Amino acid sequence: MDINNHEPVQLLVDGFGRQITYLRISLTDRCNLRCVYCMPEDGVQLLSHSEMLSYEEILKFVNVLADYGVNKIRITGGEPLVRKGVVNFIEKLNNIAGIKDIAMTTNGILLDKYAHDLYNAGLKRINISLDSLDNKIFGKLTRGGNLDSVLKGIDTAKAIGFEPIKINTVLMRGNNDKELMNFINFAIKNELNLRFIEYMPIGQNINQTITSKELIDKIKMEYKDFKPKKIDACSVSKEYYFSSQKNNKAVIGFISPLSEHFCNDCNRLRITASGKLRLCLFYDEEYDIKEILNSGASDEDIYKYLLNILQKKHQAHLFNNRNNKNETNNLQNSNIATDGNIYMNKIGG
């Protein structure tokens, strides 16, 4: 059987006509780093083993969703590579009919160790988070991380043939924003696909957010040949390249969830490590899926349960008003989920 040639039984469509085809799975809330923008210094109250969705539960959930049109999965966390059995899990995920695309977001610390096995298990696309190219700053931002391990992980992934490898970078004002040009030169030298993600003040304050536009303007001042690529309607990232022959392999992407949200085309759902469905990164509402998965409900009943929840998906988060001249002030006036207890490691980024 060709597992990619799999026709959905029915589709998951929300109240605004958007079809869900993409699931982001937070595999664990645990992490071997404590990035300043993601987790508090002394960690968070971690889930016990029994509170977490088991691999069997996740696989069952994906199996159901694949029958209803979901074809793309991203594994994230916490740090997905700290969860035992992750390679085996990826292999099983890769065998689910209808799942065409599996990607992972990792901090890269354990990538050198696992890259071969992950690749052989069927993972081909990987995003590696890297917020500083300076040992000291990296250590500070990650509260103890080792930059060399991540760089080694990137090299190993390249050598093995992961394609594409994307580097995710969050620049924060007054923190690591001075490294903008270092990152650009790093991407050019290593022919990388580097994406700047706007800092999202989940549970924190907005003052350090730098909009994509501000970064693009700065890069253009240094590189006159910095040009937008053709817009890919499916991509959440706006991509640029260097049009001169010498520098033309690096791709620089900008993900602007705050200043230019992509809610109109939102095709995604998220599940947290504890089995809570989140309809949007920016709203705190969560819906339990663990109970229904273990209730003996039929796939169709699970579908109906999800379809019902899906009708509550918001049209957009209320962060955006591009007509306002002062973008950062505008962001400050908006209403993001910031109850002080939600951290990105729980939701999965």
Binding site for ligand SAM (CB under 6 A): 31, 37-38, 76-77, 79, 105-107, 129, 168, 170, 197, 199-200, 202, 344-345, 348-349
Whole-number Å distance between alpha carbons of 81 and 149: 14
CB 83 within 8 A of CB 27: yes
* Minimum CB distance to ligand SF4, residue 144 (Å): 11
Q: Tokens 């597992």 correspond to what residue? A: 3
- 107 near ligand SF4, judged by CB under 6 A: yes
Total number of residues that touch ligand SF4 (CB under 6 A): 13
Nearest to 60 by CA among 92, 13, 20: 92
Residue 98 or 253 with smaller CB distance to ligand SAM: 253
Distance of CA 154 to the CA centre of its chain: 17
Question: For ligand SAM, which residue has the nearest CB?
Answer: 349
Strand bridging mode 22-26 / 268-271: parallel
Q: If residue 162 lies in a helix (H) or strand (E), which one and from where to where?
A: none
Nearest to 68 by CA among 18, 120, 10, 27: 10
Residue 26 or 247 with smaller CB distance to ligand SF4: 26
* Minimum CB distance to ligand SAM, residue 261 (Å): 13
Residue 12 or 154 with smaller CB distance to ligand SF4: 154
Amino acid identity at 246 = K
Task: Tell me, residue by residue from 56 to 85, as one string, x for binding to ligand SF4 by CB under 6 A and - for no binding.
Answer: ---------------------xxx------
* Minimum CB distance to ligand SF4, residue 107 (Å): 4
Cα angle 65-69-70, degrees, rounded to a multiple of 5: 55
* Minimum CB distance to ligand SF4, residue 156 (Å): 18
Whole-number Å distance between alpha carbons of 44 and 51: 15
Whole-number Å distance between alpha carbons of 225 and 69: 41
Find all residues with CB under 8 Å of 218, minimum gap 6, and list them: 180
Residue 107 or 169 with smaller CB distance to ligand SF4: 107
Residue 199: name its binding partner from ligand SF4, ligand SAM, none (Cβ under 5 to 8 Å by kind): ligand SAM
Return the residues of window 265-304 that contact ligand SF4 according to CB under 6 A.
none
* Minimum CB distance to ligand SAM, residue 96 (Å): 22
Task: Tell me, residue by residue from 19 to 38, as one string, x for binding to ligand SF4 by CB under 6 A and - for no binding.
Answer: ------------x-xxx--x
Q: If residue 187 lies in a helix (H) or strand (E), which one and from where to where?
A: helix 180-190
* Minimum CB distance to ligand SF4, residue 170 (Å): 8
Residue 63 or 345 with smaller CB distance to ligand SF4: 345
Tokens of 69: 């049109």
Strand bridging mode 251-255 / 286-288: unpaired
Nearest to 106 by CA among 67, 88, 80, 74: 80
Residue 12 or 47 with smaller CB distance to ligand SF4: 47
Binding site for ligand SF4 (CB under 6 A): 31, 33-35, 38-39, 77-79, 107, 129, 344-345
